[in-house]
Structure 1
């Protein structure tokens, strides 16, 4: 059995009421006494005790402290850690609570190791099904404690008809971190909803908020505010993840409901599954910036390597340095990617003044220069951007690598790739501008130079993407080294070979060979066409496609193994280190109604799947990944999610140029 460390629970709490230490220590001490430990002493700086194979360490110094409880279970141990810091100037006091599994069975075995449609894997022992530590409900009831935006209660909140409108504003608060679990009433037995809400509140304390609708009037008012696809009724429970906006929600199933029949048939196990999904969503989220800065200082203070006063220094906001040369280049690029528009006679606000200034800059470039001069200006900007890519990008990537490894947050390495993709969008904008200004006349020397610059810039961009992916692999190697040294790192896996795709066909071939949860259909012809016609850009698209396929494979493995209950959009939207994800802006989970309901548009989107997925052997695939958001060509990768079905796989039906729709026809 290989050793592993997995984060199972995390609560990130803001507590503005001093002193945190007294209220937190009282509740935590009562909890460990119930576990058989002697009453901890408040007179010592560091209190250590053992009971029944478990070990307790309680430390404090100045206005910060840490409690660590290691408990045995089966072949491994559970470690509960509570770290706190009192309020200082520029920072509200905080408490971070984590529960980690050290060793023991792989968490993939939680709901069984069954592979649907294939031979069943050998059963493994059931790992711990973790809920919130038992002291949290008592602590949450001592003050107005929040997740940084909304108050987190120690018990279920009763919501009446009159309070619905105010509560909707809580649900849609953009800074909310914790999920909200809403329990609808059972008109046959009012106590059913109460008991379910209490059990859920006990399980998600600190990492979620449980709300019980008081009666049918409150339910009707709540559902009216949510809309037809986001309501909850009939003694069901629905989890609303953050961020949430009922008016703009395009994927209602991201907020999963569980009906009364399923809860009654499975009993407590059904509510445990809801709890597991809620705390699993928040277990790996990054800490807020001020907490991340001060947490390292707190650890050094407790170790005697720093003074308590340094916590306030670390909490102070850090002004960001402005690179004026870079800002000027960004202004010029954005100016050239906007079309000049005539100003309207209306009141001028500061925001409108900024827009008007941008329009004037664009007009200056496009209307007051000749075509040759404009092309030369564009070429100069392209050369400057190319120079920045060559001279500066590697340094930025190395800096990002250092940040990812020093902070021990594996998910940060993906930010590098996202920033490079933004640069790629800007490069595409430069190409489109060059094409517009060329017109139908003969190309000038400046325009020919610009086209050469654009070709070179695309090649350099592809090289930058390749370098970033190599650096991401280096981060993963460093994560493994940290794990070997005894540092907890989520998501440590075996070595993955570094694959550098040269085209889309190579990506499909590699996916078929190495990604066990991905099935590839007959789409090689469409991919090859793009490889041949756009061979320079295809390196960039292939890198994006490979990242997307690995993210899909990672998601399908988690969902088919019972470790994740949402869809692929949920997987990517959740800020959880250790997951392979892609930006949600690349995702579209459905097509427009005009495409789905018209045969001439829906027919090209029906792709082959195995008979166990659909008896006809073909299925309409709406979900797709945009390898390039706009422009020509705009490659798309269509897929069907059967990870929770009979095959346990994601099926790739198409990888090629943009399919026809109402705007292209």
Structure 2
């Protein structure tokens, strides 16, 4: 956690000492004595395997000073280490605060692993600091954004001085801010303390926010992490800011919280330190009292070559080596930060070129179809071969399935009618997706078919099925048939269950179109299968 506060560094250190003492007392440990200006560095033993290091001094190479606290406590298979560093360049400038929590493994074959939980000191200290990241205030809980605050939130997202992520949650339908904050919000953002600014859009602010950020929307109970350097005019930039869809949150809120904290945690570890914190010297513990050694024949007496002089030399060399490693780490962080900025620029340019190429390919396919394929009177395809080739005409639909399954339907007796009905279903899905992305669908595709708005293509509601039967979902082989391809941004396994489908033609064994509605996540609908009816209790 790296933040700034208007409070002086001595005041921040006093607050931290008070909170640490209270926590140690609550854990049954010895309370540390007050720090004094006479000891610039001291090590306190507050019980078995409990060490508190305290030091202060001047910054290296820049004017200013620092204070530091490092607490080590026993933990299963190792040691928990908490380091608080407070630095400022002068009385007028801001005070930088950095809090690091680490797990130090001990024993043969052991290593630190897994996520380090947010320390209680961070939760207790953050509300007292009036902390910020440049223009963005960092609190310990999401702040509700009303319509009047939308413009200020967008300014924070686009501010070039912002270095930490901003996490924006959309309020699920029929849910009040108070209920969401007390329930889902508390659990979902618990691991983000000090790592990101947190906001919750209320129902009135949500449409205003999404209209202003056409390519960076969030809605339907989803949560979006806005990384630094948001470009609201770039469609390609929208894919850089991850979305956590509502169904992932509802499935397992604890796992969703871990996923949500992953990117802010990575960013906090990789960001270069500000100049004041980078100028803090590495910690050098005070020398332990050396045993008395009798000099033989005067050798070593008063020459600095005895045990005390040798120990001091070793400590100086060790400190110099650790300082060199810390400086190298800072250089690596700067290099990584520059590389990631270049990578974002190249990815944005590449995405724009791919979008232009997809549009050109869609136009070529459409023109080729006009000359090479028989067309129906209303312009819909009469074969599945043509239908697959014209999929680019639906910008919010993506066909991830096997084209051979769809083209094989052209050999069936009613292939022409099936192709036209499939086209009608795809047209209706595209119009529904466009409305859902704008937050105007008011339900799923089944409800859209039941209450199709004027001017939109109608698809029979009885042919739009929300999901498979419980028998199909519980049958291992049948369920596996419906685990269909999706992009990695939707599911890391590149597979997702697609129970929702369209009935193509009459009869219980007629073809089916299976799809996944991810409008609240990636803003697209993925069609994973067009072909003969998949296996169920009525197929042979």
TM-score in terms of structure 2 length: 0.52
Q: Deviations over 1:86-107 (max 9, x none)?
A: 45157422111112333379xx
Q: Deviations over 1:623-645 (max 9, x none)?
A: xxxxxxxxxxxxxxxxx989944
Cα distance, 1:38 vs structure 2: 2.6
Cα distance, 1:285 vs structure 2: 1.0
> For residues 216-295 of structure 1, what are the structure 2 equivalents within 5 Å?
216-227=203-214, 229-248=215-234, 250-293=236-279, 295=280
Cα distance, 1:162 vs structure 2: 0.9
SS at match of 2:79: strand
Judging changes above 3 Å, is the alpha-carbon distance between structure 1 residues 417 and 125 closer, same or farther for their aligned structure 2 residues? Answer: closer
Find the counterpart in structure 2 of residue 22 from structure 1.
Answer: 14
Judging changes above 3 Å, is the alpha-carbon distance between structure 1 residues 247 and 600 closer, same or farther for their aligned structure 2 residues? Answer: closer
**Structure 1 contact 185–235 (Cα < 8 Å) conserved:** yes
Q: Deviations over 1:314-345 (max 9, x none)?
A: xxxxxxxxxxxxxxxxxxxxxxxxxxxxxxxx
Q: How many residues align?
A: 326
Distance 2:364 2:72 in 1: 57
**Structure 2 contact 272–330 (Cα < 8 Å) conserved:** no
Judging changes above 3 Å, is the alpha-carbon distance between structure 1 residues 218 and 268 closer, same or farther for their aligned structure 2 residues? Answer: same
Cα distance, 1:217 vs structure 2: 0.2
Query: Is 1:85 matched with 2:80?
Result: no
Cα distance, 1:255 vs structure 2: 1.2
Cα distance, 1:47 vs structure 2: 5.5
Find the counterpart in structure 2 of residue 503 from structure 1.
Answer: none
Cα distance, 1:140 vs structure 2: 2.2
Which of the numbers 321, 325, 328 marks the counterpart of 1:408? 328
Q: Deviations over 1:211-248 (max 9, x none)?
A: 122x2102122222221x32222222111111223223
Which of the numbers 208, 213, 218 marks the counterpart of 2:196? 208
> For residues 110-149 of structure 1, what are the structure 2 equivalents within 5 Å?
127-149=113-135
**Structure 2 contact 271–334 (Cα < 8 Å) conserved:** no
Judging changes above 3 Å, is the alpha-carbon distance between structure 1 residues 260 and 614 closer, same or farther for their aligned structure 2 residues? Answer: closer
Judging changes above 3 Å, is the alpha-carbon distance between structure 1 residues 641 and 265 closer, same or farther for their aligned structure 2 residues? Answer: closer
Cα distance, 1:176 vs structure 2: 0.7
Judging changes above 3 Å, is the alpha-carbon distance between structure 1 residues 162 and 199 closer, same or farther for their aligned structure 2 residues? Answer: same
Distance 1:243 1:165 in 2: 17
**Residue ranges of structure 1 left out of the alignment (5+ in a row):** 1-10, 106-123, 305-402, 419-571, 575-581, 604-612, 618-639, 648-665
Find the counterpart in structure 1 of residue 186 from structure 2.
Answer: 198
Which of the numbers 29, 36, 40 marks the counterpart of 2:32? 40
**Structure 2 contact 87–276 (Cα < 8 Å) conserved:** no
> For residues 515-594 of structure 1, what are the structure 2 equivalents within 5 Å?
573=340, 583-587=343-347, 588-590=349-351, 591-594=353-356
**Structure 1 contact 13–95 (Cα < 8 Å) conserved:** yes
Judging changes above 3 Å, is the alpha-carbon distance between structure 1 residues 292 and 222 closer, same or farther for their aligned structure 2 residues? Answer: same
> For residues 619-634 of structure 1, what are the structure 2 equivalents within 5 Å?
none
SS at match of 1:254: coil
Cα distance, 1:145 vs structure 2: 1.7
SS at match of 1:182: strand
CA RMSD of aligned residues (A): 4.0
Q: Deviations over 1:521-578 (max 9, x none)?
A: xxxxxxxxxxxxxxxxxxxxxxxxxxxxxxxxxxxxxxxxxxxxxxxxxxx637xxxx
Find the counterpart in structure 1 of residue 70 from structure 2.
Answer: 68
**Structure 2 contact 123–193 (Cα < 8 Å) conserved:** yes
Cα distance, 1:83 vs structure 2: 0.9
Distance 2:182 2:336 in 1: 47
SS at match of 1:135: helix
Cα distance, 1:257 vs structure 2: 1.4
Cα distance, 1:407 vs structure 2: 0.9
**Structure 2 contact 190–257 (Cα < 8 Å) conserved:** no
Q: Specify the structure having the higher radius of gyration (Cα).
A: 2
Q: Deviations over 1:54-86 (max 9, x none)?
A: 443344468632221234444343322111124
**Structure 1 contact 40–47 (Cα < 8 Å) conserved:** no
**Residue ranges of structure 2 left out of the alignment (5+ in a row):** 59-64, 288-322, 366-399, 405-486, 496-540
SS at match of 2:133: coil
Cα distance, 1:411 vs structure 2: 5.7
Cα distance, 1:274 vs structure 2: 0.9
Distance 1:173 1:39 in 2: 43
Query: Is 1:165 matched with 2:151?
Result: yes
Distance 2:232 2:121 in 1: 34
Find the counterpart in structure 1 of residue 469 from structure 2.
Answer: none
Query: Is 1:31 matched with 2:23?
Result: yes
Distance 1:39 1:134 in 2: 17
Judging changes above 3 Å, is the alpha-carbon distance between structure 1 residues 30 and 272 closer, same or farther for their aligned structure 2 residues? Answer: farther
Distance 2:327 2:192 in 1: 27
Judging changes above 3 Å, is the alpha-carbon distance between structure 1 residues 405 and 28 closer, same or farther for their aligned structure 2 residues? Answer: closer
Cα distance, 1:144 vs structure 2: 2.5
Find the counterpart in structure 2 of residue 599 from structure 1.
Answer: 361
Distance 1:597 1:151 in 2: 42
Higher relative contact order (CA 8 A, sep 6+): 1
More helix by proportion, 1 or 2? 1
SS at match of 2:128: coil
SS at match of 2:98: strand
SS at match of 2:257: helix
Q: Deviations over 1:350-397 (max 9, x none)?
A: xxxxxxxxxxxxxxxxxxxxxxxxxxxxxxxxxxxxxxxxxxxxxxxx
SS at match of 1:80: strand
SS at match of 2:236: coil
**Structure 1 contact 152–209 (Cα < 8 Å) conserved:** yes
